[in-house]
Amino acid sequence: MTELRLEGVSKRYGASGSGAADDEDDERTGERRTVALEGVDLTVRDGEFFTLVGPSGCGKTTTLRTIAGFEEPTTGVVTFDGESMAGVPPERRNIGVVFQSYALFPHMNVAENVAYGLQFQEPPAGTTSDERVSELLELVDLSGMGHRDPDQLSGGQQQRVALARALAPQPELLLLDEPMSALDARLRESLRLQLAQIQSELGITTVYVTHDQEEALAISDRLAVLNRGRVEQIGTPQQIYHEPATRFVADFVGDNNVFDGSVRHSSGDRIRVTVDGVTFELGSPVDRTADPIGPPTDRERDRVSFCVRPEALTRTADRNRFSVAVETCEFLGESVRVHGCWNEVPIVLRLSDVPDGEEVTVGFDPADARLLNATPSQT
């Protein structure tokens, strides 16, 4: 098993001319370079299911490729169990990789595709190659399908074959780059459950890339939210959802309501923030001084932002009440998502039924509000 660490990893691609916001000029040559990763520090613990999530172009694939050894970091180091991987080629890193496209060999049947994963490595002692292939097909719930050709399988089944092939040589580390993005929503949901089950059964350290924040929350032990090549926050799904450290995380992960205001009074555990002349009382901020991006806010600083999740805004709360002008309602089955605004602040609510008037008054418990950091890229 393996603990994976990235320390100060940056990656710049030369002379891209991509026009990306994070392009910079090379001081020495004057060429334009794309900054794909900037000072990424993260640790994936032994046996952990760790997800990299973020919008398109934030550096997820570059991080995964750097871990795999397909890219060398421009600066910084990748270690497996404390051992630097600098200069170690992918085939000597003992990793299994599954990409978005299944990349199965069309001229080989399922069993041959899985056996291909064993070509550079003997099966575990006491097992033949055929036994190992059967074992793996059973693991991914495809027993008896070894003789089929890849084009006789559904997308989800093909992706499970790709997973079996990656696991065949018993890698120390499993790397998955958007393995389900080509599948429809229902299939993705059932496959991610299977994947989580297989991962916990094998206890293999796993790094999973997705741009789907819901998937990231559902499947991970911990996740890192990336934005423009930097880590915004690392935490458990609960921490990321309930205690977003930055505005970017608050906006990216689930619906949220973000208020910008100024601190009126901050003593003891209670902070009062005035937004457009209305004062809200917030609970004690969580101590995040140990976070890589520092404490959530400078209490002395005048301008602050805070967020409240839609489900924390209720009609029955007796504190921090305000009236929302209702714009649209989406019926979601067990709840209704209401979009509206209060003093030009866009508001999202999750209510049990459609409000009857054009306005709905809601409030929130001070403990349900979170103060936010400025995004690293804004500082």
Q: Which is nearer to ligand ATP, 56 or 128 (CB)?
A: 56
Residues numbered 151 to 210 that lie near ligand ATP (CB under 6 A) are none
Size of the site for ligand ATP (CB under 6 A): 15
Q: Where are the beta strands (DSSP E) in the chain?
A: 4-13, 23-25, 32-44, 49-53, 75-80, 83-84, 95-98, 173-177, 205-210, 222-227, 230-235, 257-267, 270-275, 278-282, 303-308, 322-331, 336-342, 345-351, 359-362, 369-372
Biggest distance spanned by C-alpha atoms of the chain? 74
Smallest separation, CB 73 to ligand ATP (Å) = 13
Quick check: 366 binds ligand ATP (CB under 6 A)?
no
End-to-end CA distance of the chain: 38
Quick check: 15 binds ligand ATP (CB under 6 A)?
no
Quick check: 36 binds ligand ATP (CB under 6 A)?
yes
Question: Which one of 10, 34, 205, 206 is in contact with ligand ATP (CB under 6 A)?
Answer: 34
Q: Which is nearer to ligand ATP, 62 or 320 (CB)?
A: 62
Quick check: 61 binds ligand ATP (CB under 6 A)?
yes
Which range touches ligand ATP (CB under 6 A), out of 58-66, 147-155, 286-294, 302-310?
A: 58-66
Closest CA to 34 of 23, 25, 43: 23
Quick check: 66 binds ligand ATP (CB under 6 A)?
no
Q: Helix %, strand %, coil % for the chain, to 5?
A: 25, 35, 40
Residue 183's φ and ψ, nearest 5 degrees, are -100, 160
Quick check: 59 binds ligand ATP (CB under 6 A)?
yes
Residues numbered 291 to 320 that lie near ligand ATP (CB under 6 A) are none
**Bridge-based pairing state of the strands 205-210 and 173-177:** parallel
Quick check: 227 binds ligand ATP (CB under 6 A)?
no
Write down the residue that tokens 């599948």 correspond to.
Answer: 183
CA 212 to CA 51: how far, in whole Å?
10
CA 223 to CA 278: how far, in whole Å?
36
Quick check: 289 binds ligand ATP (CB under 6 A)?
no
Smallest separation, CB 67 to ligand ATP (Å) = 12
- CA atoms within 13 A of residue 340's CA, in its CB half-sphere: 24
Quick check: 262 binds ligand ATP (CB under 6 A)?
no
Smallest separation, CB 12 to ligand ATP (Å) = 9
Which range touches ligand ATP (CB under 6 A), out of 59-67, 82-90, 153-161, 252-260?
A: 59-67
Task: Take residue 375 and report the two structure tokens written for it.
Answer: 């995004």
Which range touches ligand ATP (CB under 6 A), out of 52-60, 114-122, 130-138, 343-351?
A: 52-60
Smallest separation, CB 20 to ligand ATP (Å) = 4
Quick check: 323 binds ligand ATP (CB under 6 A)?
no
Closest CA to 149 of 103, 100, 191, 104: 104
Q: Which is nearer to ligand ATP, 71 or 172 (CB)?
A: 71
Q: Which is nearer to ligand ATP, 52 or 139 (CB)?
A: 52
Crossing angle (nearest 10°) for helices 155-167 and 129-139: 130
Q: Give CA 252 to chain center in angstroms.
A: 10
Question: Which one of 58, 67, 198, 225 is in contact with ligand ATP (CB under 6 A)?
Answer: 58
Quick check: 211 binds ligand ATP (CB under 6 A)?
yes
Q: Are 208 and 52 in contact (CB under 8 A)?
A: yes
Quick check: 13 binds ligand ATP (CB under 6 A)?
yes
Quick check: 20 binds ligand ATP (CB under 6 A)?
yes
In the complex, the residues that contact ligand ATP under the rule CB under 6 A are 13, 16, 18, 20, 34, 36, 54, 56-62, 211
